[in-house]
Structure 1
Amino acid sequence: MKVNTIIRGCVIAFPSTAFIGHSAMVVILAVLLFCGLWELRNNKELIPKNSKIIAFSFFAAFLLAIPNVILDQGRLAALDAPSRYLLCGIVLLLISRQKVNIEDYIHGVMVATVIGFIAYPLYLGYYLDLPRYRGELLGEEVNILSVAYFAFINSLILAYSSLYQANKNNWPIASLSFLLSILSFIIGYMSGSKVMLLCLPVLLVLFILLVGKLRKKYVLGIFSLAIVLAVASVSSIMKSELVERAVQDIEHIDDSKMTSTNLRLNMLKSGWLSFIESPIFGLGYDKRLEFQKSLNEQGEIKLSKKYLKDGKHSMHNEVVNALAKKGLIGLVLVLTLYFTPLWLALKQSTSKTAQNAGVVIMFVGSFILIGFTEAPLMGISTSVYYAINIIFLILSFPRNDTQKAEISS
C-alpha cells in the first residue's frame, strides 16, 4: 500500500478517532510518524515553506515551555502538551511532501458526525439513558468536555462547508452538510456543556448566509421550515440539562454555591493574580499552587480542596491559563499556535483555495471560542487533536510555483 493512500485513510479516519478517545488519536499520530520515516529513505524533495512555518511554531511551543521546567526545579509537567507539539512538528516535516485533499478532510468530519451521533446521543443518551454521556464507551470513561469540543468544531466546519457548496450550486451536498452540522450540534448540547452556547451565533450567521443563496421562490418555504425547526430545537434545548445548568449558574452567580461558573470566576481571578505576581515567566506549577492556597486562606478566592492539590489545574480560559502558568511567554505561545495557521490560510486564500482557508478559519476560530471557557491548546488530548488537524489542513494547500520550481531543479 502506498504511503499517500495510508495518509489519506488517516485524514478521513482521524475525526472519528477523536470521538473514540485519546488512545485512538495517538494511533493515528504513530501511523503518520511511521509513514514519514518510511518516506524519508528516498524522498529528496525540499520541505515546503508552509510546513516549515507551522512546524517551527510547534517547536516554539516546546521551547517556550522550558523556563517552567526550570521554575519547577526539573519537574516536567510543563512539557506535557508542548512535547506533543514537538512530536507533531517532526511528523509534519517528515510528511510535508504529501498532499491532502480538503474534500477528504470534510468527508472525514461527515463520517465522524454520523458515528458520533450514533455513539453518544443514540447509544449513550437514549439507549443507555446516561445523562451527559456519564459512562464508558469502548472501555474508556467518556471525556464529556472533549466530546463537546469536537462536536462544536465539526458543527461549524460543516456549516461552512454547506455555505461553500451552496456557492457552487451543489445543493445536495450543501443540504447534507447542513443536516450533519445540526446533528453535530445535538451531540454537543446533549453533553450538557455550556460551551455549545458560543456556537449558536456563528451557526445562525452561516444559516442566514446560506438562505441568502437560495432562489427567491424557495426562501419562504425554507424560512417556514427553519421556524418549525427553530421552535422544535428551542423547546428541546430549553428542557435540556445544558440550559438547566446555565439557569442554575445565573441564579447562584457570585454566591457561596460552587457552580461551574463560580468556579471559573474564581479560577480566572486566581490566574490573573498569579500573572501579576510573576508577569514574565509566570509562577509555574509548584509556586502557583502555593500562591493559590494563600489566596484561598486569605479569602481572595473560594476553591474546594480538589483544586488545591496540584498547580496543573486549568484556569478555564486559554489566555489567563497561559499568563498564570507561563506569564507573557505563555501568551506568546498561545498566540503563535492560534495565529500562525490563520495567517498562512489568509495569505494563500484564492478562489481555488477558498474552501481550505475557510475550514482553517472555522477550525482555529472554534478553538479561540472554546478558549473563553477552557484551555484546550494545553490539554493532553486536545493538543494532539489541534496539531494533527492543523497538519492535515496545511497540507491541503497547493504548493506555489516557486516551491515547485525549486523541487524540480
Structure 2
Amino acid sequence: MKITQNTFYLLSILLVPTLLLTTKNGSVAIVAITSLYSLFFLVKNYSTLQVNNFDKIVIGCLATYFLIYIPTAISDGSTLRYFQGGIRLLFCIPIYLALTQVFKDISKESVLKYLSIGVILGSIGALILAIYQHFILQMDRVDGFLYSINFGYLATALLCLSSSLTIFNRQLRPWLVLAVLSSCTATFLTFTRGAIFAIPLLIAFSYMVSWKHINWKMMLTVVVLLITTSIGTYTFSSSVKKRIDYTVKEFVNIKEGDLKAARSSGTRLYLWAAAIEAYKESPIIGLTYQEREALNKKLYNEGKVNDYVRDLPRGHAHSQYFEMLASSGSLSFIGIFMMLLLPMFIFVKHFWNTQSIWGFTGSVFVAGFILFGLTEAPLQANTISAFYGFMLATIFALIRNEKYNHKNDIN
C-alpha cells in the first residue's frame, strides 16, 4: 500500500507517543526518519518554502540549546557530549518547516485524531509495562526501557498531553480519560518524585492559564481523575507510600539543616551549590566537564560537598538549569529562555487570543518540562530531547497554521 506524504506525517505524529515508553528508542527512530524525510521534502519543495518571522523564532527555539554549547565544546576540544540534547532539537527544525507546508492540506481534526490515538496507545502501553515490572518482576521502581527517572518524566509528559486533549476531543474522550489514568499511575510506579510532585503544580498551572476560557466541567473531571488516581496509588501501593513518606522525612531534615541525613534531596543541594561555584569560576561560557570534576574534588576537600558529588562523572548537576549554568555559563540564560520560556509564552498567548486546543496543550506540555528541569536535566537524554523537540515542532507548526491559514479551525 502506498503511503502518501500527508499520511506519513500523520503516522509519525501517532507513532512517536505510541512508541515513546513501549519500545527502546522506537520514538527516536521515528523522529530521525521523519527528520530525514523532511530534509528531502524541503529540498524538493524549496521554491515554495516561505520563512516568516514566526518561523525564525521557532528555529531559534529549536537551535539555541545546541548553539550555546559551542564555546565550551571548543574549549574542551575532546568531546561532542555537550551537544547530546541540543542536536536532537536541531534535527526537529526540518520537521517543523515541512509541517508548516503539510498542515495546509491536513485538517486539524485529523491531526487531533492521530495525536490522541498515539497518546492513548502510549499511555496504556506505559501502564502495562509498569504493572508488569512492578507486580510481576517485583521491581521497586519501574523503568521500562529507560532509567526510572526518565520513564517518570515521559509518563508525566504523556499525562500532560492526554489530560489536555481530554478537554477538547469529544470523540475519543472516554479513551483519553483512560490514558489520563494510565499515564498518572505509570508515573507513580516509577517513584520519580520530580514527576509526581509536578502533577499538582501542573493542575494549578492549567487553572491559571485557562480560568477565563476552558470548559470547567471537563477540567474538573480531569482534576478529580488525577487526584483519585494519586490517592488510590498512595493507598494501595506500599512502595509508593514508603517513597512519599521518605521524601517528607528528607524535607524535614533539610529544614533542620541536616543535609547529610537527607541523602537524596540533600545531595541535590550540594550538586546545585557545586554548579554555582562552577559558574563563578567561568561566568561567560562555563567550565568543561573535566574542569567541573576537578572543582568538585576541591569543594569536597574543603568540606562543601559530599562524596557523591566528588565522584560524579562530568560534575552532573541533576538539574537542567544548574547543569546549563555550570557548563554554558551566562549563555544558559539565553538557552533556557529560548528553549522553555519563549515557547511557553507563545503557546499561552495563542490560547488566550484564540482558545486554541494547541495553545493550551502546548502550554501544559512545556510547563511539565519546566518543572522536570528543576530536579534533573531531562533534555540531555536521548529519548526525552527527541520527543520534546518533535512535539514542539508539531505544536508550533499547528499554531503557525492557525495564525496564517484559517482553514479548518477547531477550538
TM category, shorter: 0.7 to 0.9
Task: Report the counterpart of residue 292 of structure 1 in structure 2.
Answer: 296
Q: Residue 202 of structure 1 aligns with which residue?
A: 202
Contact 2:39 2:94 in 1 (8 A): no
CA drift at 1:321: 1.5
Task: Establish whether residue 102 from structure 1 lines up as the match of residue 112 from structure 2.
Answer: yes
> What percentage of residue pairs aligned between the two structures are identical?
19
**Which consecutive aligned stretches of 4+ in structure 1 deviate over 6 angstroms post-superposition?**
207-211, 221-230
Distance 1:237-1:161 versus aligned 2 partners, 3 A rule: farther
CA deviation map 1:332-382 (0-9, x unaligned): 112110133223324443776610000100110000111111122233332
Cα distance in 2 for partners of 1:46, 1:207 equals 38
Matched, 1:119 2:129: yes
Q: Which runs of 5+ in 2 are unaligned?
A: 407-411
Q: Deviations over 1:201-244 (max 9, x none)?
A: 43377699899527xxxx9x999999976754442367524314
Q: TM-score, normalised by structure 2?
A: 0.82
Counterpart pick for 2:92 among 82, 88, 93 = 88
Counterpart in the other structure of 2:409: none
The change in CA–CA distance for 1:181 and 1:309 in structure 2 (over 3 A counts) is closer
Mapped pair 1:70 → 2:67: no
Alignment gaps of 5+ in structure 1: 405-409
TM-score (norm 1): 0.82
SS of residue matched to 2:307:
coil
**Structure-2 change in CA distance of 1:143 and 1:239 (3 Å):** closer
Task: Tell me, yes or no, if structure 1 residue 46 matches structure 2 residue 49.
Answer: yes
Tell me the amino acid that sits aligned with residue 49 of structure 2.
Answer: L
Contact 1:88/1:387 (CA < 8 Å) preserved in 2? yes
Pair 1:350–1:42, CA change in 2 (3 A)? farther
1:21–1:301 CA distance, 2 compared to 1 (3 A): farther
Structure 1 segment 10-409 matched on structure 2, within 5 A: 10-20=12-22, 23-43=25-45, 44-49=47-52, 50-99=54-103, 101-121=111-131, 123-133=132-142, 141-165=145-169, 170=170, 173-195=172-194, 196-203=196-203, 212-213=216-217, 232-236=232-236, 240=240, 241-250=242-251, 252-253=253-254, 254-257=258-261, 259-304=263-308, 308=311, 310-311=313-314, 313=316, 315-349=317-351, 354-399=356-401
Whole-angstrom CA distance in 2 between matches of 1:102 and 1:379: 27
**Paired residue type of 2:198:** L
Amino acid paired to 2:35: L
CA distance in 2, matches of 1:366, 1:385: 13
The CA deviation at 1:160 is 2.6
How far 1:86 sits from its partner (Å)?
Answer: 2.4
Question: Post-superposition shift, 1:175?
Answer: 4.8
| Worse-matched range after superposition: 368-377 or 95-104 | 95-104
Q: Provide the alpha-carbon RMSD of the alignment.
A: 3.3
Aligned residues: 386
Name the CA distance, whole Å, in 2 between partners of 1:107 and 1:296.
Answer: 50
| Change beyond 3 A, Cα 1:401–1:45 | farther
Q: Would the alpha carbon gap of residues 228 and 317 (structure 1) be closer, same or farther in structure 2, given more than 3 Å must change?
A: closer
CA distance in 1, matches of 2:147, 2:345: 31
- What is the CA distance between 1:397 and its match in structure 2? 2.4
| Mapped partners of 1:46, 1:211: distance in 2 | 37
